[in-house]
Amino acid sequence: MDAKLRYKAKKIKIVFFDIDDTLRNSKTGFIPASIPTVFKQLREKGILTGIASGRGIFGVVPEIRELKPDFFVTLNGAYIEDKKGQIIYQHQIEKSDVEEYISWAKQEGIEYGLVGSHDAKLSTRTDMISEAINPIYPDLDVDPDFHEKEDIYQMWTFEDKGDDLHLPDSLSDKLRMVRWHEHSSDIVPISGSKATGVEKVVEHLGLKPANVMVFGDGLNDLELFDYAGISVAMGISHDNIKEKADYITKTLEEDGIFDALEGFGMVEKELHFPQVDIETVEGPI
């Protein structure tokens, strides 16, 4: 690892982690055994931890909550809580924009999802939607009028149009589309991103971008990689993420997070010595 990067790591006071395919395999749910050690050792060194995810707070699985991160930057920065459940920041999409988006989706012949702070609903349920959303939120109900009951922080497309799909001009100056799946994109406020959310936490703590390290793998991490003092891409990251990263680590399954942090001098392997039963052992010990 580059010596200058190791030196920069001495300034780090908070580390943010993406969830899917960074801390946890999005398809199998696998979390490396080294991850609890990472959070424990960072905590012992006085380094704060945070989650920075496109997921809602209701989509943060129990295994991740058990790691006891200090902050949850969710819904691509639109809703942020600390570990005590206190809201640090929230930004809802205007109801008129939600309604216009739904009208546009219907005109385009595509399905949609509506995401509140603590729940989300689908316009309908199809095999294509289930393939995209079930690994993240396996039990979402159908309610195409969810926006009439709850504030909306984020929306989804469900379609097979890929990069040919674009928001209409009347919405593109207020909302933007961030593709996260072959058949789905997040629709977020144009100024909204994980970076915006992390910046709110950094300001709340009185820190600077140079004090921030981030781990991620997807396109919704691009702005965050620009913002943070040190950005680390997982081994399976999108090529655009790898190009922006200060360091590319191994894959999740290869203990990429621990390996990178060990290289930065921020965690160490824990030594486990065998326990000896003195009464049954002969000779010197």
Catalytic residues: 18
Rg over CA atoms, the chain: 21
- 3-class DSSP assignment, residue 3: helix
* Sheet of 247-248, strand order: 87-90, 79-82, 71-74, 48-52, 14-17, 212-216, 230-233, 247-248
Could you identify the residue written with the tokens 């621990």?
A: 258
Cβ-based neighbour number of residue 183 at 10 Å:
20
Distance (Å, whole) CA 258 – CA 262: 6
Instruction: Please give the torsion angle defined by the CA atoms of residues 67, 68, 70 and 76, in that order, rounded to the nearest 10 degrees.
Output: 60
Q: Which of 91, 242, 120 is nearest to 184 (CA)?
A: 120
